Structure 1
Amino acid sequence: MKGQSAEPQVEVRRSKRRRRTVSAYRDGGTVVVLLPASMDEAEEEHWVADMLSRLRRSETRRRSSARYSDEALAARCRDLSEAYLDGRAVPEGIRWVAPMRTRWASCTPGTATIRVSRRLRNVPSWVLDYVLVHELAHLLEPGHGADFWKWVDRYPKTERAIGYLEGLSAAANLDLDDELDGATGSDS
């Protein structure tokens, strides 16, 4: 099947000194599983499968965190600025920060920097895109006036993303709704 990798080659190494612990690591294209010598075949089979699963999860988390690096965030901002803001919003810096108490993200127009709460790492991409467009629009219009919302409303999922964030705020008992006030651009 396209896009799926074949099962890795597995090498099992047994040790008489190893009593209870099991570990695994990659050595090139091979996964080396270290087991106690006293383990029977059924236990070996169980632990090899378990360690392969653990390695996959760990590697997926590492790939996922790379996807959400500051560099990936900057690249996403460039794409969104081109698509919805005529390429005019160009931040000097953008980075993930510890969860903010009262905001999903913030922009400092004077320094053209954007900070995004790590709380947003697990939201759907279209919600993160809305937040980024919102912050990028502050580089063009600092306040939340009608001109600001004209820029933000170019993003087609603005209203839907605002609803998602309101629900997320309510579910987590966060006080982040003030940031969404005037989201439709009708009053600011």
Structure 2
Amino acid sequence: MTESFLPATPTRPAVVVRRSKKRHRTLSARQDGDHVLVMVPWGMDPDGERRKVEKLVTTLLNRRRRYTATTDEELMERADRLARSYLDPVVGSRVRPSSVRWVTNQNHRWGSCTVRTGQIRLSARMAGFPRWVSDYVLLHELCHLVEPNHGSRFHELLSRYPQADKAEGFLTGWSWATSMGGTDGGVGTDAMDPAPADID
């Protein structure tokens, strides 16, 4: 395995390009602290590698920018909508968090809820995930405001979300793929094909 380093520019953070003999066709990129880590196949044509790395980094950064456009205020509005739709009618009272924020320090869970303060935090690793997946995680944390543990009442509340099974499957699949070295938690493309301009 070899690495090269591309210094930061005014429009992007530093990039570490890691070449691996285990990779045969695919490239992937993910934010790794203050730099972007790009995994590429060993022995790739240097000109092709440079073009694909730049395109993949641009795609990743554009996706991150779209994600950061969701402000904390918008997250609170989503929490309000989800609670009104799935919790308030069953609980018989208004379920609202004191705050909802994106955080970058949750690398082992998708979200957290501090019941005592009503604060909900969502992992920034969900950047670029479909809205129905992040809504599921947000609703999961909202359910903790009603039921702090994962008992039967908690699961009964969460199961009211129509896409709960689908979202759980998405998160499980993403976690498995990441643990196997598939997605690296970022974006990827096939080294033999041009990178898509917009990955959703």
- 2:160 matched to which residue of 1? 154
Q: CA deviation at 1:65?
A: 4.4
Q: CA deviation at 1:171?
A: 1.1
The answer as to whether partners of 2:64 and 2:127 remain within 8 angstroms in 1 is: no
Displaced runs of 4 or more, over 3 A: 60-63
Of the candidates 71, 89, 99, which is equivalent to residue 93 of structure 1?
A: 99
| Higher relative contact order, chain-length normalized (CA < 8 Å, sep 6+) | 2
The answer as to whether partners of 2:67 and 2:128 remain within 8 angstroms in 1 is: no
Q: CA deviation at 1:68?
A: 1.4
Mark the CA change 1:164 to 1:70 in structure 2 (over 3 Å): closer, same or farther: same
- 1:35 matched to which residue of 2? none
Q: CA deviation at 1:61?
A: 6.7
- 1:183 matched to which residue of 2? none
Q: Once the two structures are superposed, what CA deviation does each residue of 1:109-161 show, in whole Å capped at 9, x if it has no partner?
A: 01100000001121101111110110000000000000001110110110110
Larger relative helix fraction:
1
- 2:112 matched to which residue of 1? 106
Larger relative strand fraction:
2
The answer as to whether partners of 2:115 and 2:144 remain within 8 angstroms in 1 is: yes
- 2:44 matched to which residue of 1? none
Residue identity in the other structure for 1:153: S
Which runs of 5 or more residues in structure 2 are unaligned?
1-58, 181-200
Q: Residue 74 of structure 2 aligns to a residue in which SS? A: helix
Q: How many percent of aligned residue pairs carry the same amino acid?
A: 45
The answer as to whether partners of 2:75 and 2:100 remain within 8 angstroms in 1 is: yes
- 2:147 matched to which residue of 1? 141
Mark the CA change 1:71 to 1:156 in structure 2 (over 3 Å): closer, same or farther: same
TM-score w.r.t. structure 1 length? 0.57
State yes or no: 1:126 paired with 2:128.
Answer: no
Mark the CA change 1:69 to 1:163 in structure 2 (over 3 Å): closer, same or farther: same
Q: Residue 85 of structure 1 aligns to a residue in which SS? A: helix
The answer as to whether partners of 1:108 and 1:114 remain within 8 angstroms in 2 is: yes
Of the candidates 70, 87, 92, which is equivalent to residue 68 of structure 1?
A: 70
Q: Residue 127 of structure 2 aligns to a residue in which SS? A: helix
Q: Residue 111 of structure 1 aligns to a residue in which SS? A: coil
> Could you tell me how far apart the structure 1 residues matched to 2:169 and 2:110 are?
14
> Could you tell me how far apart the structure 2 residues matched to 1:128 and 1:76 are?
10
Which runs of 5 or more residues in structure 1 are unaligned?
1-56, 175-188
Count of residue pairs brought into register by the alignment: 116
Larger Rg: 1
Mark the CA change 1:146 to 1:125 in structure 2 (over 3 Å): closer, same or farther: same
Q: CA deviation at 1:102?
A: 1.6
> Could you tell me how far apart the structure 1 residues matched to 2:172 and 2:64 are?
30
TM-score w.r.t. structure 2 length? 0.54
CA RMSD, aligned part only? 2.1
Mark the CA change 1:164 to 1:62 in structure 2 (over 3 Å): closer, same or farther: closer
> Could you tell me how far apart the structure 2 residues matched to 1:79 and 1:63 are?
24
